[in-house]
Amino acid sequence: MSLPAIGTRLSLSSHLGTVAYTGPVAGTSGEWIGVEWDDPSRGKHDGLHKGVQYFTCRVEGAGSFIRPGSGIHYGESFISALVKKYADPSTSTAPETGNEHEEKEETVLLGSSLGLITVQAPNIGKVRQRLAQLDRLREVSLDGEGVSHPGGAQELRERCPSKPIRGYSCYG
């Protein structure tokens, strides 16, 4: 398992933080991740262990060391979250039918900050096709989608060639 880059945003048990150090810590075995937590009360120190300063925190006492492994979520790229939310066909449950001229009704699960909404509509595929044209969307919201980094610039240009990206912040 490779260690995350310094500055990577992460989430652990719903607590958000930023990677400030990766590597060994004297007097211990294995690799560690030094994290500065968004909520300083989650921290235990300022990156100092047994007299060695591994990293510093902007807020005193907001840091701690964690082991790399399961339970840590590094989020996903802006473009990946955008495609998943607005252009992913896996959110529908279209019934299979043999007659292509028959009007198809689908059940679609729409995500919201308050939960999921189930909608049944005929030919919802046409609406989905329009939403999938990401460069035609006027405004998008990825709040709560766990975006931690922009992703590949090339993929972003390909999927959204005519859109400037404004108001971008990671995990928070």
pLDDT averaged over every residue in the chain: 79
pLDDT at 28 over 90: yes
Choices 2.30.30.190, 3.50.50.60, 3.10.105.10, 3.30.450.20: CATH for 9-73: 2.30.30.190
Average pLDDT over residues 76-86: 84
- Three-state helix/strand/coil letters over 80-136: HHHHHHHCCHHHEECCCCCCCCCCCEEEEEEEECCEEEEEEEECHHHHHHHHHCHHH
Residue 1 — pLDDT band, cuts 50, 70, 90? Answer: low
Average pLDDT over residues 69-75: 88
Which pLDDT value is given to residue 110?
65
Nearest 5°: CA angle at 134, between 158 and 95? 120
Q: For the chain, which residues make up each domain, given as ranges? A: 9-73, 76-159
CB 145 within 8 A of CB 85: yes
